[in-house]
Structure 1
Amino acid sequence: MDLIGKMDLENELSIALRLLIALLLGAWIGFDREKHGGSAGIRTYAAVCLGATLFTAIGQHLNDTAAVSRIIANVIVGIGFLGAGIIYKNDKRNQSQGLTTAATIWCTAAIGVAVGLNMLIIAFASSAAIFFLLILHHQQWYLKWKKKMQEYHKNEDLDD
């Protein structure tokens, strides 16, 4: 079977449009991180979303469900490996760092997979949810609520 011969202009334009959407969604997600000096920003998030979309769209073009499943599984594993490299332990503060970045990069890859499978409503809704989560720690109402919850639970722990 000649796969290259079966690719027509309409399919290529469809994939190119999905790549553009993935690029924009990934960049939007990375915007907050970039603005606040995060280690991963617009370029990283856009590249993760774009790559996941490209791999998924190529797999989908093969018309082989098993191949698409394997590609998606390997995107998940690959991004998990990337995320593991982002997470580190800060011995001075005795805290782990990079968990949010690793988790949101993983979610951004999932958004890329959704775009690659032409599930655009899911991709847009998920992108909005991730963006909301990333901007949450800059919202005064959230910071006040978080401080109140921490104080409440700190007092609760003292009662035990």
Structure 2
Amino acid sequence: MDIVIWKELDLLLRLFAGMAAGIVVGWERTNKQRAAGIRTFGLVGLGTAAAATIFSAPDETDAASRVVQGLLTGIGFLGAGMIVLRRGDTTPQGLTTAAAIWVTAALGCAAGLGDHAIVLTATLLALVLLLINHSAERLAGRDAER
């Protein structure tokens, strides 16, 4: 009976970790008034964690590898939907949100496979990158007119 309870708690932790990572990234995107926010990113993290968890047993590494490959390839289509080039603009909009969606999918996969150190560390690093404002990019040589 105790083994069943621990398995259920482990499952909940994996799913929650994926969703929480997505919520953290989505919170930042929501604060910057982007189209995709807390709910979208939370669902991406939860969904990829759930899919990766299905094949997370030690004897299913090949299946887990294929699931992760498929998820990270497929999520690119969701991210591509975030990228737009408006009439009159010279640069596309939504690239950072698209990249954040892809990173969130990777975070969800790591959570689903039970690698909580990667989830925590990569979520914090993603948040740091997202919090860097455009003034840092201008210091690196990017034009201010965008």
TM-score (norm 2): 0.86
The CA deviation at 1:120 is 0.7
> Which one of the candidate residues 50, 60, 72 is aligned to 1:64?
60
Residues 66-103 of structure 1: CA deviation (Å, up to 9, x unaligned): 21111111101110111111112122112111111111
Q: Is 1:27–2:30 an aligned residue pair?
A: no
**Percent of aligned pairs sharing the same letter:** 35
Residue 97 of structure 2: aligned partner: 101
Larger Rg: 1
| Amino acid paired to 1:12 | E
| Amino acid paired to 1:48 | V
Residue 36 of structure 2: aligned partner: 40
Unaligned runs of 5+ in 1: 1-6, 154-160
How many residues align? The count is: 142
Residue 147 of structure 1: aligned partner: 138
**Larger relative contact order, structure 1 or 2 (CA cutoff 8 Å, min sep 6):** 2
TM-score (norm 1): 0.80
The structure richer in helix per residue is 1
The runs of at least 4 consecutive aligned structure 1 residues that moved more than 4 Å come to none
The CA deviation at 1:126 is 0.4
CA contact (8 A) 2:17 2:108 kept: no
Aligned partners of 1:50, 1:41: CA distance in 2, in Å? 14
Map 1:66-85 to 2 at 5 A.
66-85=62-81
Structure 1 residues 61, 8: CA separation in 2 closer, same or farther (over 3 Å shift)?
Answer: farther
Aligned partners of 1:147, 1:72: CA distance in 2, in Å? 35
Residue 54 of structure 1: aligned partner: 50
